[in-house]
């Protein structure tokens, strides 16, 4: 590990000023950053520790009915928050399907948004990777790429974003609150992460010194609580990143879909909101034929980036399955295997939190 300066500011303004200097990186839980530093993948000159900053660890309901989640809220604390889990069950299910209990106890929700890809070539400093070293090439294009992107990829990068948490957030229209040297701004989560283009090393819209301070879910997002699921296909049931995942939310009126929300994970460099698939379902009956049609539409623009054409079919099936489960209703208790397609329903309680 390289030598670096360590700073622990006592105010948000002080943290932003320190991180505005070139070569700086914010440190929250460090569950991703420290691994990257140990592997010589990321080499910051200055670490700005924000863990002691005030007021960034709150879960609040605002006057307009929206829910605000501070960037330093722990993944586990959010998933087990009774009111939050009841209002946004798919988000809680996504959180509980990720990593291990120990990591969920440490990891922050702001850090979850900013975690780097798990592409093996990004982590191998002997491999060419445009995301790690711009202009060096992408060894994954001709390498082992079965798990890589099928949407939004470019010849410069075919890596995927690994977050579970971000997928239902994208479906629910979450807003990212950002503060930096030039003040505060809000960015839709679906616009927060960038597609690779010819600069895959620039992964988000954050400018130097800018910090994610909170995530906000609009009041209307809670209207999907009764029919809301997150489903994740992975190589093993626990402690694994998704091969493909889907968040599906429905608002039903007399068996007819008044509104649908669909987002897909691990298929692109960002969580992928499938708005055209949502439009297919509006006004239709909650029936398998329409779910399958929407699933096909969700991957209408997909194309293999290597030996991963099967990922498109897997994605279609996961979307259709997630919609089917959502239409049946949100379980009153968290499934014993959160987000797993193998979880028995309604499922034994894994956390004692009622969803509806």
CA distance 17 to 208: 10
In this structure, what DSSP letter does residue 64 have?
T
Q: Fold for domain 223-328?
A: Enolase-like; domain 1 (3.30.390)
- 149 phi-psi bin (left φ>0, alpha ψ -120 to 50, beta other): beta
Residue ranges, CATH 3.30.43.10, the chain:
1-54
Beta strands (DSSP E) in 24-126 are: 24-27, 46-49, 59-61, 67-70
Residue ranges, CATH 3.30.390.50, the chain:
223-328
Tokens of 115: 């975690």
- pLDDT tens digits along 123-178: 999 999 999 999 999 999 999 999 999 999 999 999 999 999 999 999 999 999 99
So what's the pLDDT on residue 352?
Answer: 40
**Number of helical H runs and strand E runs in the chain:** 13, 12
1-54 has CATH 3.30.43.10 classification: yes
So what's the pLDDT on residue 260?
Answer: 98
pLDDT confidence bin for 65, thresholds 50/70/90: very high
Q: In terms of residues, how long is the chain?
A: 356
């Amino acid at each position: 590990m390289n030598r670096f300066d360590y700073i622990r500011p006592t105010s948000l303004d002080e943290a932003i000023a320190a991180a505005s200097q070139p070569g700086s990186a914010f440190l929250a839980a460090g569950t991703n950053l420290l691994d990257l530093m140990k592997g010589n993948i990321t080499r910051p000159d200055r670490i700005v520790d924000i863990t002691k900053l005030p007021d960034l660890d709150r879960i609040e309901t605002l006057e307009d009915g929206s829910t605000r989640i501070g960037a330093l809220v722990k993944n586990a604390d959010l998933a087990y928050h009774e009111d939050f889990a009841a209002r946004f069950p798919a988000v809680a299910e996504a959180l509980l399907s990720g990593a291990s209990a120990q990591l969920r106890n440490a990891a922050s929700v702001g850090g979850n948004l900013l975690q780097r890809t798990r592409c093996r070539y990004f982590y191998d400093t002997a491999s060419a990777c445009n995301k790690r070293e711009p202009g060096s090439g992408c060894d994954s294009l001709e390498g082992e790429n079965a798990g890589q992107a099928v949407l939004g990829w470019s010849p410069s990068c075919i890596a995927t974003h690994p977050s579970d948490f971000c997928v239902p957030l994208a479906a629910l229209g979450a807003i990212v609150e950002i503060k930096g040297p030039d003040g505060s701004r809000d960015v839709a989560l679906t616009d927060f992460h960038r597609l690779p283009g010819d600069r895959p090393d620039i992964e988000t819209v954050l400018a130097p010194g800018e910090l994610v301070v909170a995530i906000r879910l609009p009041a209307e997002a809670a209207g999907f609580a009764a029919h809301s699921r997150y489903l994740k296909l992975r190589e093993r049931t626990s402690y694994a990143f998704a091969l493909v995942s889907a968040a599906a939310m429905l608002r039903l009126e007399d068996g007819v879909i008044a509104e649908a929300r669909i987002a897909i994970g691990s298929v692109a460099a960002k969580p992928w909101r499938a708005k055209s698939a949502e439009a297919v379902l509006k006004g239709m009956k909650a029936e398998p034929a329409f779910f399958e049609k929407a699933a096909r539409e969700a991957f209408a623009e997909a194309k293999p980036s290597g030996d991963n054409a099967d990922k498109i079919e897997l994605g279609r099936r996961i979307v259709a399955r997630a919609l089917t489960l959502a239409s049946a209703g949100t379980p009153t208790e968290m499934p014993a295997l959160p987000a797993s397609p193998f979880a028995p329903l309604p499922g034994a309680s894994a956390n004692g939190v009622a969803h509806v």
